[in-house]
Chain A
Amino acid sequence: MPPLKPAKSRRPASIWSAVSLIVSLFAVALTSGCGDNFSDLEVLPTESYMKKPSDFLGNTYTIRAQIDSQVKWEKGVGRILAVSPESGGARLPVFVPDAVGGNLHIGQRYEMRARIEAGGLIYVESLRKY
């Protein structure tokens, strides 16, 4: 599991402005269809995952799902959501770090980029509504 980003940064504002610009450009590129990092990923085989999560450790998948409920939330850490995959099957628990998630509401549909971490945790690295 990657270390979580610290909440505070002490770098100068100019650097931050530059980074923001780059990210914005990158985001525009993504939305325009160039360099889409979700579409390249395989869809998580939920049935197989359910049977043996440990077989998927370290892999990264895309998950298209609807938020069913928020199971747990802890400030500064993130939230555990129960999502219903578009492909059907049982609900899956996913962890959305605070840094990744914004205002997530039940019923919203998201396409998520997730990596399978230790213990079978579905760690959402990024997500976007669809």
Chain B
Amino acid sequence: MLKVYASISLGLVLGQITSHAQGYAPAAAPARPVPAAAGMSAPVGGMFESNTFLEMASRAFDPSSDSMDFENGSFAWKGRTFNLTSQRAFRARFERFLLASPTEEEESYALLMNDVLQRLSVASDRSDDAIIETWEMLFRAARFDPDGGNSTIVANQVFNAWRIRKEMRGTALTQRELADMRRHQQTVVANRALMLEKLKEKKQRESVRQTSEKEGNSEHTTFPTEGAFRALELAETEAKLIAMEGQAALTGIQAKLQMQSQIVAFLVQRRYQHALLLSGFYQLLFKGSQQQLEVGKGELKSFFPNTDMVFTVDMMAFVANEAITDVNKGVDAVNTAYAEDRAIIALERLQETFFLGEYMPELNAIPVEQRRMLLDLYRDMMEAVELAEAKDYNGVAQYAERIALIAKDFPEMRVLSSVETAKSMSDMAVFAASQYRNLGDIDKARAELQQAIDIWPSNPSIREFQQETTKLATAGSQGVQIFDDLYKRGDHRGIYDRRMDLGFALAEDTERQPLLMEVIEQVSTIDLLVAQSAEALKQGDPYVAWELLAEAAKFDPDDAPMNRARAELAPRVADFVVYLDRAQRQAAEAQHAGSLAGFLAAQDIYPASRMCREGIERQSSALMAHLSTQAEAVEE
């Protein structure tokens, strides 16, 4: 049995310590038998209660809006899905934003960007000089920190497209020259072949006439060699021309694809202004038939998950404009909610808006003081979530009260009520474990304790239970010796004070167990009588109080608390006590008449005395019996 106690104590203590150290408790409790006695067991739904609390805490304390899914790392916005990254990274950026203050540089940057976008609109001056001037403004924008160098990327893309266009112009010139050369070479080759044919025919006629003397046909071998050389030159020119045409086409496509890729990249990265800038330049550089997106289809498919539309540059610009509008509306909503003391709503909307328009200067419309307050609220709520996950209910309650001071729309009562319920469930499980342990049902005690730990790992009652169990296990090994020593000395109070320990130690000792029970009953009766005496004294009846103490003294005249009470009371009933003591002393010496006189005198002081009445009856009977015996003896 002692081993079992030690097992409960050590095993569960270690389990508890581990849970605390890791900041969480095991999610799944071992299978727990249903308690036999319903009155002493926590409800079976303890884990359900615990999970309910976690769900409640998650709802109450999680400042993230429903559109943010940190588990899947996505942020849904109007049917589009952004990659949200990890919660930790987002939290860091969000807190940085809440800590930051708007600067003049950011305001200048916002003005410049709006200016650039305005110049790229269809209604503006679209001359080459105006476009170049707009393009040069990009380098000014790139010098601002908030830009992050993205304007340079736009400028480079545009410059690249211009360079390719220029190269293509040069290529076209070369192509024309080669085409001229090809035509010339074709003419040369064609004329040379005709002339050779004619010469050949003339030679054949002359050879017929001068058959005998002429041999030499060196001219005949020379003409075919030159013709082949000219044909080779023509073939080379043809090859160059084809290669140049292919290269020009390839270079043009490459420039277009690069710009399209960058527009998609800007949109996915939520750099809406830069997406609009590049779209504007693209529309200037490429004709209307080139607006369909050829690249980034994979990214766009994940960005627009439920559509089979044909993606165009205009469409990207539309989405970017819509996002900018939504950021502005979001900022308005945050400021309104905050002004109406709806801090929780303001925080939720701010997170959405911040993620959507993290790089937008419009977020600066949120005042600094408001940001600081929302930062405090955000940090408190995140801390409360972690405490709830660690099941530190006291900490959760503290944070709930703190948050409620900041945010009027925080459901404080719901949180506190859940905390109290969870704590009560854990306490009930500890109580049930104690009961089962006392009954010796170790398996059920262990299961109940595990239940209590699962619900509330830091429950102080669990530690008390552990200490008590450890104490019992220790006392069990020494219990027999302690009991024997105390019993031998007649220290019943000492036995009574250790009754729990000794009860376990002597549970199977058939010899000592009855003695222990007798002592416990005896001391319990003394305690009861002493308590009744105290009550009688309070009611102004010291003689009754004394009689109760005298009654208690019959059980154990050496009991310290009882004697202490008697000593305190004795001065108030001194006369009564003197006669009673005298009567009792003489009764003990068989001086019945003297004893009877003492009891009568005491009864004169307290006529209702039960002790006196009984003493008188007892002593008078004894005296009469003695007299009767004497009378009979005389008669005989």
Binding site for B on A (CB under 8 A): 1, 3-4, 6-7, 49-51, 53-54, 71-72, 74, 76-78, 80, 82, 90-93, 95, 117, 119-122
Contacts of A72 in B (CB 8 A): 620-621, 623-624
Q: Decide: A3 near B634, CB < 8 A? Known: A50-B598, A71-B616, A93-B596.
A: yes
Whether the pair B593, A77 counts as a contact (CB closer than 8 A) is: no
Closest 7 CB pairs of A and B: A90-B601, A120-B594, A3-B634, A121-B593, A53-B594, A72-B620, A120-B593
* Nearest A residue (CB) for B629: A77
Whether the pair B597, A93 counts as a contact (CB closer than 8 A) is: yes
CB distance from B509 to the nearest CB of A (A): 49
CB distance from B608 to the nearest CB of A (A): 15
Interface centre among B592, B594, B601 (most CB of A within 10 A): B594
* Nearest A residue (CB) for B633: A3
Whether the pair B623, A121 counts as a contact (CB closer than 8 A) is: yes
Pick 7 A–B contacts, CB within 8 A, sort by A: A51-B582, A71-B620, A77-B627, A90-B600, A95-B593, A120-B586, A120-B591
Whether the pair A49, B597 counts as a contact (CB closer than 8 A) is: yes
Whether the pair B628, A54 counts as a contact (CB closer than 8 A) is: no
Chain B 602-627: CB-based contact to A (< 8 A → 1; otherwise 0): 01100000000000100011011011
Q: Decide: A90 near B604, CB < 8 A? Known: A53-B593, A77-B628, A80-B596.
A: yes
Known: A119-B626, A120-B593. 20 other contacts (CB 8 A): A3-B634, A4-B630, A6-B634, A49-B597, A53-B591, A54-B591, A54-B594, A74-B624, A76-B631, A77-B624, A77-B627, A80-B623, A91-B600, A91-B604, A92-B597, A93-B620, A119-B593, A120-B597, A121-B593, A122-B593
Contacts of A78 in B (CB 8 A): 627
Contacts of A50 in B (CB 8 A): 579, 582, 597-598, 601
CB distance from A65 to the nearest CB of B (A): 12
CB distance from B8 to the nearest CB of A (A): 65
Binding site for A on B (CB under 8 A): 579, 582, 586, 590-594, 596-598, 600-601, 603-604, 616, 620-621, 623-624, 626-628, 630-631, 633-635
Contacts of A119 in B (CB 8 A): 590-594, 623, 626
Q: Decide: A77 near B623, CB < 8 A? Known: A54-B591, A90-B604, A91-B601.
A: no
Whether the pair B631, A4 counts as a contact (CB closer than 8 A) is: yes
CB distance from B156 to the nearest CB of A (A): 126
Contacts of A49 in B (CB 8 A): 597
CB distance from B206 to the nearest CB of A (A): 192
CB distance from B343 to the nearest CB of A (A): 86
Interface centre among A6, A53, A93, A121 (most CB of B within 10 A): A93
Whether the pair B593, A93 counts as a contact (CB closer than 8 A) is: yes
* Nearest A residue (CB) for B634: A3
Tell me, in angstroms, the Cα distance from A78 to B623 when the chains sit together: 11
Tell me, in angstroms, the Cα distance from A74 to B593 when the chains sit together: 16
Contacts of A74 in B (CB 8 A): 624, 627-628
CB distance from A57 to the nearest CB of B (A): 10
CB distance from B328 to the nearest CB of A (A): 107
Q: Decide: A92 near B600, CB < 8 A? Known: A72-B621, A119-B590.
A: yes
* Nearest A residue (CB) for B604: A90
Interface centre among B586, B590, B594, B597 (most CB of A within 10 A): B597
Whether the pair B600, A82 counts as a contact (CB closer than 8 A) is: yes
Tell me, in angstroms, the Cα distance from A91 to B631 when the chains sit together: 26
Whether the pair A6, B624 counts as a contact (CB closer than 8 A) is: no
CB distance from A44 to the nearest CB of B (A): 11
* Nearest B residue (CB) for A8: B635
Whether the pair A80, B579 counts as a contact (CB closer than 8 A) is: no
Contacts of B594 in A (CB 8 A): 53-54, 119-120
Tell me, in angstroms, the Cα distance from A51 to B601 when the chains sit together: 11
Contacts of A121 in B (CB 8 A): 592-593, 623
Tell me, in angstroms, the Cα distance from A121 to B601 when the chains sit together: 15
Tell me, in angstroms, the Cα distance from A78 to B625 when the chains sit together: 11
Contacts of B592 in A (CB 8 A): 119, 121
Tell me, in angstroms, the Cα distance from A45 to B8 when the chains sit together: 76
Tell me, in angstroms, the Cα distance from A78 to B630 when the chains sit together: 12
Tell me, in angstroms, the Cα distance from A19 to B592 when the chains sit together: 36
Tell me, in angstroms, the Cα distance from A57 to B628 when the chains sit together: 20
Tell me, in angstroms, the Cα distance from A91 to B605 when the chains sit together: 11
Interface centre among B579, B592, B627, B630 (most CB of A within 10 A): B627
Tell me, in angstroms, the Cα distance from A77 to B620 when the chains sit together: 13
Contacts of B596 in A (CB 8 A): 71, 80, 93
Interface centre among A1, A6, A50 (most CB of B within 10 A): A50
CB distance from B201 to the nearest CB of A (A): 185
CB distance from B457 to the nearest CB of A (A): 72
Interface centre among A51, A71, A92, A122 (most CB of B within 10 A): A71
Contacts of A122 in B (CB 8 A): 593
Contacts of B601 in A (CB 8 A): 50, 90-91
Tell me, in angstroms, the Cα distance from A120 to B616 when the chains sit together: 15
Whether the pair A95, B627 counts as a contact (CB closer than 8 A) is: yes
Contacts of A91 in B (CB 8 A): 600-601, 603-604
Contacts of A1 in B (CB 8 A): 630
* Nearest B residue (CB) for A92: B597
Tell me, in angstroms, the Cα distance from A35 to B361 when the chains sit together: 139
Interface centre among B579, B596, B620, B635 (most CB of A within 10 A): B596
Tell me, in angstroms, the Cα distance from A7 to B632 when the chains sit together: 11
CB distance from B544 to the nearest CB of A (A): 21
Checking B597, B603, B624 against A53 with a beta-carbon cut-off of 8 angstroms, the contacting residue is B597
Tell me, in angstroms, the Cα distance from A94 to B498 when the chains sit together: 52
Contacts of B631 in A (CB 8 A): 4, 76-77
Tell me, in angstroms, the Cα distance from A57 to B626 when the chains sit together: 17
CB distance from A121 to the nearest CB of B (A): 4
CB distance from B336 to the nearest CB of A (A): 96
Contacts of B627 in A (CB 8 A): 74, 77-78, 95
Contacts of B597 in A (CB 8 A): 49-50, 53, 90, 92-93, 120
Tell me, in angstroms, the Cα distance from A122 to B633 when the chains sit together: 20
Contacts of B623 in A (CB 8 A): 72, 80, 93, 95, 119, 121
Contacts of B579 in A (CB 8 A): 50, 90
Contacts of B624 in A (CB 8 A): 72, 74, 77, 80
Tell me, in angstroms, the Cα distance from A50 to B599 when the chains sit together: 11
CB distance from B265 to the nearest CB of A (A): 117
CB distance from B64 to the nearest CB of A (A): 91
CB distance from B189 to the nearest CB of A (A): 167
Tell me, in angstroms, the Cα distance from A65 to B597 when the chains sit together: 15
Contacts of B591 in A (CB 8 A): 53-54, 119-120
CB distance from A63 to the nearest CB of B (A): 13
CB distance from A62 to the nearest CB of B (A): 18
* Nearest B residue (CB) for A2: B634
* Nearest B residue (CB) for A98: B631
Tell me, in angstroms, the Cα distance from A93 to B597 when the chains sit together: 6
